[in-house]
Copies of this chain bind each other. A is one copy, B any other.
Amino acid sequence: MGYCITAPPPLLARDAGILYTFAMKANYLMPTRILMGENCLRDQRAFLAPLGKKACIITGKNSARACGAYDDAVKALEANGQGFYVYDQVMSNPTDSCVYEAGAAAKREGCDFILAIGGGSPMDAAKAAAVLAVNDLSKEELFELAFTTALPIAAVPTTAGTGSETTPYSILVDTTGADGKSPRQGGPVKRSLGGPLLFPRFAFLDARYTRRLNRDTTVHTAIDALSHAVESALTPRASRLSDVLARESAVMIRDCFAALLDFPADPAEFPLEIREKLLLAASMAGMAIAQTGTTVVHSMGYHFTLDWGTDHGRANGLLMGPFLSWCEEKEREAAAAGTALAPRIPGLRAALGLDLEEFRGILEKLLGKREKAGEAELAAWGAAKMKNAANTYIQPTQEEIDRIFREAVG
């Protein structure tokens, strides 16, 4: 058959249809306190007080200020009698040099904790900076997790997608490709670090901070969260605990499809109730991937982002349809061959209340015109090693990865 079956069989057949799939094994941890609601930074600022005398606010150049989160954070700190230093130089897809700079600033300024404000990029950068502020590490030591301390982190997401506020992951761009393992030697690669110390202590979810996001950012971040929810359920590590969060997140995002397809000309007119739902769904999908990680889809999508600058969520979205159809095909083949592969696509279909074709149709409308790759790009990507392939419930062969790339953007 050419693929490796890693999924445990479901314990009870009568569960089929009410959830994706599950194994009664779990190693579940999600210690972040989630504080959600309008004005949560103001109303729940007491939680920040014990973190220390001085915060290092880590954010991007503009968006945190424009959306109001920065002002609310500063007011909360001031009301608590806490000082702060601002590092606002985080770019999209933050680099190794950026997080070293941020970590050094937090150390130099004597900061006791990190307050991350922004989308996935500032939050991911803040996690690495929280480590580097209290550890003198080479880049390899950082990625090898050669540390046992980090400053505590509070996260204020200003997009509804990444889920970084509830994960222990930091995804960075290594600009030197110094790992020597990548096909992109000498070029930038996405690398991740992860561990319990990187879970934010607090996630402040106030959907008002996402109100100014335009149609593309809103849709692409929603697809990012949906991709987390769907991929989590398609990892070998999925458990009933991760699945319940993944499924609920996927259902919540599905319930926003109609509104997303009908996005108004003025982003401020996009209903706040939908933005709230997307924000919580993104955090719940984060809770799910915090347990399971993501699949080959994420590894593949990084190529679009690095080579084309494609939004991370959009990159996943471009791949999701072809990937799910490939999963379904593999499940059909396994059933026909009598192989003991526990199918997961029927559970996904049941949870979403959508056929795969319907689901793909909605995704296409949300994505609009697809990017097209040239043959040289397709050949390079199709030959590249995909780190998360082993974290997919059916491991794709290199030929299958190539085929999915071609279906997505060929």
Query: Residues of A at under 8 Å CB distance from B?
Result: 11-12, 14-15, 18, 24-37, 44, 205, 207, 239-241, 244-245, 248, 251-252, 255, 273, 276-277, 280, 284
A33→B28 contact, CB < 8 A: yes
Q: Which residue of chain B lies nearest to A12 when distances are taken between CB atoms in the complex?
A: B273
Residue ID in chain B nearest A256 by CB atoms: B12
Q: How many Å lie between the Cα of A284 and that of B244 in the bound state?
A: 10
User: Is A27 within 8 A of B18, CB to CB?
Assistant: no
A255 touches B12 (CB 8 A): yes
A159 to chain B, nearest CB (A): 17
Q: Are A26 and B36 interface neighbours, CB within 8 A?
A: yes
B255 touches A248 (CB 8 A): no
Contacting pair A25 B36 (CB below 8 A)? yes
Are A241 and B34 in touch, CB under 8 angstroms? yes
How far is it, in angstroms, between the C-alpha of A15 and the C-alpha of B280 when the chains are bound? Answer: 15
Task: Kindly list chain B residues whose C-beta atoms are within 8 Å of the C-beta of A245.
Answer: 244
Residues of B within 8 A of A37 (CB): 24-26
Asked whether A24 lies within 8 Å of B36 as measured between CB atoms, the reply is yes
C-alpha spacing A252/B284, complex, angstroms: 20
Find chain B residues with CB under 8 A from A244 CB: 244-245, 248, 284
A167 CA to B283 CA in the complex, in Å?
A: 21
Q: Does B27 lie within 8 Å of A280, measured CB to CB?
A: no
In the bound complex, CA of A33 to CA of B196 (Å):
10
Expressed in whole angstroms, the minimum distance between the Cβ of A14 and any Cβ of chain B is 7
A27 to B36, CA, bound (A): 6
* 23 A-B pairs (CB sep. < 8 Å): A11-B273, A11-B277, A24-B36, A24-B37, A24-B207, A24-B273, A24-B276, A25-B37, A26-B34, A26-B36, A26-B37, A27-B33, A27-B35, A27-B36, A28-B33, A29-B31, A29-B34, A30-B31, A31-B31, A36-B239, A240-B252, A240-B280, A244-B284
Which B residue sits closest to A40, measured CB to CB? B25
Contacts of A26 in B (CB 8 A): 34-37, 205, 280
CB nearest neighbor in B for A199: B31
Which of chain B's residues has its CB closest to A148's CB?
B50
B-chain residues with CB within 8 Å of residue A273 when the two chains form the complex: 11-12, 24
3 A-B pairs with the lowest CB-CB distances in the bound complex, closest first: A31-B31, A25-B37, A28-B34
Interface centre among A30, A32, A245, A251 (most CB of B within 10 A): A30
Residue pair A241, B280 in contact (C-beta under 8 Å) = yes
Contact of B277 with A12 in the complex, beta carbons under 8 Å: yes
A251-B18 in contact given A24-B277, A44-B27, A241-B280 (Cβ < 8 Å): yes
Partner of A33, one of B29, B32, B34, B36: B29
Chain B residues within 8 Å of A205, by CB? 26
Extra contacts besides A12-B273, A24-B277 (16): CB < 8 Å:
A24-B36, A24-B207, A24-B273, A26-B35, A26-B205, A27-B33, A28-B33, A28-B34, A29-B31, A29-B33, A34-B241, A36-B239, A240-B248, A240-B252, A244-B245, A244-B284
